[in-house]
Structure 1
Amino acid sequence: MAEAKEEEHPRLVLRNFLTLHQCKELEFIHKSNSTVGYRANVFSTTLSHLIATNSPHLLMPFVPIRESLKEKVEEFFGCEYELCIEFTGLISWCRGASIGWHSDDNRPYLKQRAFAAVCYLNSYGKDFKGGLFHFQDGELTTVEPLAGDVVIYTADSRNIHSVDEITDGERLTLTLWFSRDASHDEDAKLVSLLSQSLLHNNVPGECLPLLASSNMYWFSPDQTSHHQLGFDICWARLHILGFDVYSYQDRSSDSDFSELLMNPLQLARGNELLNHEFVNILHALQVVQFSTWKASDLQTSKVTIDSGKVVVVQLSQGQREKMNCLKSVFLKDPQLAEMIFSCMTINVSRWLFFDWADFISAVALWEDYASKLREELVRSLPYWRTHQSIFEVPYDGC
């Protein structure tokens, strides 16, 4: 396919490149770790952010996808062994987000960018409205995002593009940028960060996340308003799924409240409080999003749980008042949160017939999932250090 270089607008669409499982897994990772993005109503999860928040094991699902995409880009554009991956990130576009006509290298500091690959993790019309991808010129002018599809194109003026405004739902993508300039290779930087991360946290099976700066999780419709308007992203995503957050610790002023999210807390739903402690709100969010991803598995294959571990109590008036007080601090605008993170495909039956036993099963499954990914990461890291590159390491099971 080297002839693509001679085309006026070299680009390629790969249908069903990602499996549904891969799409859902990356959706889980993004919705349980995302921070405020690079433009209005956009949220992002980078690989370096996952490492910084003690979730480096969540890089593992990206590894085979990155390799396959790099091979496809090099094959299509006839530049085998010439490219490095400059950036890998999950990006979601929510209601109101859009982008006008531009090319990916139209800013001076991005001149090293050669190619882009955008992988769609959910579908237009089913999961979100708006958000069509348009090329300004060429035969293929409009791309309708469908889960599993990938669009690959040169990141220059030959492929000027735009994205329509999102009018409902959340449009999810995995985006990779490629460069011929090895000084912009993200792999070497990630390997260094991973080495430092595992050096400082070498406890086997330790996969509990740590929060970044609270400013990274605060969404406001007016960026100059700081915490006067808007909401904490983690709290808002829990709210959308029907959960409230309860902290039994006391704080005396708003300036201290942000510390509460970094400390142990519990989850509530309706008038019920689950007597299970999470180390922080990011830990709680990862488990909740995991349970949403694995909902069908939890229904068909129960994990054996000691009934004594599933303790649900009725919220007291004092607990409810305290919970509502915290909610007024971290979710100042519930309607805005519901509009931004609206979901077009809510499972109504799961919402109405929520089962705490299923949720506790999800806690156990999440711990097993994270532990296996961490084992894979620890096994792979010595090879990555040697080659200063992230790739799939064969495992013989020994």
Structure 2
Amino acid sequence: MSEVEFEPQSPRLFIPNFLSLNECRELEFIHKSSSTVGYRPIVFSTTLSHLIATNSSHFIIPFIPIRERLKDKLEEFFKCEYELFIEFTGLISWSRGASIGWHSDDNRPYLKQRHFSEVCYLNTYGPDFSGGLFHFQDGEPKSIVPKAVNILTDVLMYTADDHNIHSVDEITEGERLTLALWFSRDGSHDEDMKLISLLSRHLLHDNMADSYLPLPASSNMYWFSKDQASNYQFGFNICWARLHVLGYDIYISQDSSCESDVSESLLKPVRLVRENELLDQEFVNIMHALQVFC
């Protein structure tokens, strides 16, 4: 299928088959390995600044060619006679219960620097999740059905203003994963300059000077309290939360109860439990379980 351009009053472009499935799977791996809780417990996010802050800056490398291709296509479609700057890049996954109502992407005073939006769908409506359809309030297409099947996957580009008010239905099953980018005409919001500054500070840090390997992230970053996890009776590790969404619990071999100190799951071997069945495979830690099993 070729590119689909829509009417000028609602400038938007839908591009089927833009990203390779291998690129999608690589980004999915990074997200499952590194994500943290988003604006609420049922939304997870991985930002480039977050990867640097957790000593995982090597994970930024796969984003670079994808971001450049998306930026070039956006500038071409909108016939930009000025340079655009990437304002934000993030992997965002929504679990069951997540949704967002009608809005434009510049609908807050602190978001007015956002002029264009791009959404890359990294998994498929139906096999991977139910609900979660993207709808425009006006114009065509009315709805976008995400797919990432066979070899390639889809991208949607549109202006971030009120010409493209949109919503996303509630997720009813599974997890919806996207790569979201926003672009600005204002160079002071250039994400790359901020990332270079963060990288420079980390590379100059004494603890990093003699090492080429990422250091383990603090266990605190993977934890959110029971007040943030309103649907559960106790606070829990965010990695455990990802497994919980998929229907698994964890068992720490050295301790019959992982709930007493879930942060130990970052340091000790774990096994997975589904309903009443203890699975045979033992993982080095909970991060290993996320990377290999999920």
TM range (shorter): 0.7 to 0.9
Partner of 2:216 in structure 1? 209
Partner of 1:185 in structure 2? 190
Give TM-score scaled by structure 1 length. 0.62
> 2: distance between equivalents of 1:180 and 1:5?
23
After the TM superposition, which residues 34-73 of structure 1 pair with which residues of structure 2 at under 5 Å, given as runs?
34-39=35-40, 41-73=42-74
Structure number with greater Rg is: 1
Partner of 2:26 in structure 1? 25
Distance apart, 1:89 and its partner CA: 0.3
Asked whether the 8 Å contact 1:219–1:233 carries over to 2, the reply is: no
Asked whether the 8 Å contact 1:53–1:212 carries over to 2, the reply is: no
Distance apart, 1:32 and its partner CA: 1.5
Q: Which structure shows the bigger proportion of residues in helix conformation?
A: 1
Q: Deviations over 1:68-94 (max 9, x none)?
A: 111111111111552100000000011
> 2: distance between equivalents of 1:62 and 1:158?
28
Identity %: 59
> 2: distance between equivalents of 1:182 and 1:158?
23
Q: 1:12 to 1:199 in 2, by over 3 A?
A: same
Partner of 1:317 in structure 2? none
Asked whether the 8 Å contact 2:229–2:235 carries over to 1, the reply is: no
> 2: distance between equivalents of 1:224 and 1:165?
18
After the TM superposition, which residues 257-336 of structure 1 pair with which residues of structure 2 at under 5 Å, given as runs?
257=261, 260-261=264-265, 264-269=267-272, 270=278, 274=282, 278=284, 284-285=286-287, 287-292=288-293
Q: 1:227 to 1:193 in 2, by over 3 A?
A: farther
Give TM-score scaled by structure 2 length. 0.83
Asked whether the 8 Å contact 1:119–1:149 carries over to 2, the reply is: yes
> 1: distance between equivalents of 2:213 and 2:293?
23
Q: Deviations over 1:6-53 (max 9, x none)?
A: 810000011111111111111111112111112462111111111111
Deviates more, 1:265-274 or 1:112-121: 265-274
> 1: distance between equivalents of 2:17 and 2:6?
24
Partner of 1:142 in structure 2? 143
What are structure 2's unaligned runs of at least 5 residues? 273-277
> 2: distance between equivalents of 1:30 and 1:9?
32
Q: Is the counterpart of residue 218 in structure 1 residue 224 in structure 2?
A: yes
Q: Is the counterpart of residue 97 in structure 1 residue 98 in structure 2?
A: yes
Asked whether the 8 Å contact 1:71–1:80 carries over to 2, the reply is: no
Distance apart, 1:193 and its partner CA: 1.1
> 2: distance between equivalents of 1:259 and 1:26?
25
> 2: distance between equivalents of 1:31 and 1:193?
23
SS of residue in 2 equivalent to 1:18: strand
What are structure 1's unaligned runs of at least 5 residues? 294-398
Partner of 2:252 in structure 1? 246
Asked whether the 8 Å contact 2:6–2:13 carries over to 1, the reply is: no
Asked whether the 8 Å contact 2:118–2:157 carries over to 1, the reply is: yes
After the TM superposition, which residues 103-182 of structure 1 pair with which residues of structure 2 at under 5 Å, given as runs?
103-147=104-148, 148-182=153-187
> 1: distance between equivalents of 2:145 and 2:34?
26
Distance apart, 1:248 and its partner CA: 5.0
> 2: distance between equivalents of 1:130 and 1:292?
24
> 2: distance between equivalents of 1:203 and 1:24?
32
Question: Counterpart amino acid of 1:115?
Answer: F
Partner of 2:78 in structure 1? 77
Q: CA RMSD for the aligned pairs?
A: 3.1
Q: 1:38 to 1:196 in 2, by over 3 A?
A: same
Distance apart, 1:126 and its partner CA: 1.2
Question: Counterpart amino acid of 2:224?
Answer: W
Q: 1:136 to 1:212 in 2, by over 3 A?
A: farther
Q: Deviations over 1:75-124 (max 9, x none)?
A: 11111552100000000011111111100011111111100000000000
SS of residue in 2 equivalent to 1:170: strand
Asked whether the 8 Å contact 2:14–2:155 carries over to 1, the reply is: yes
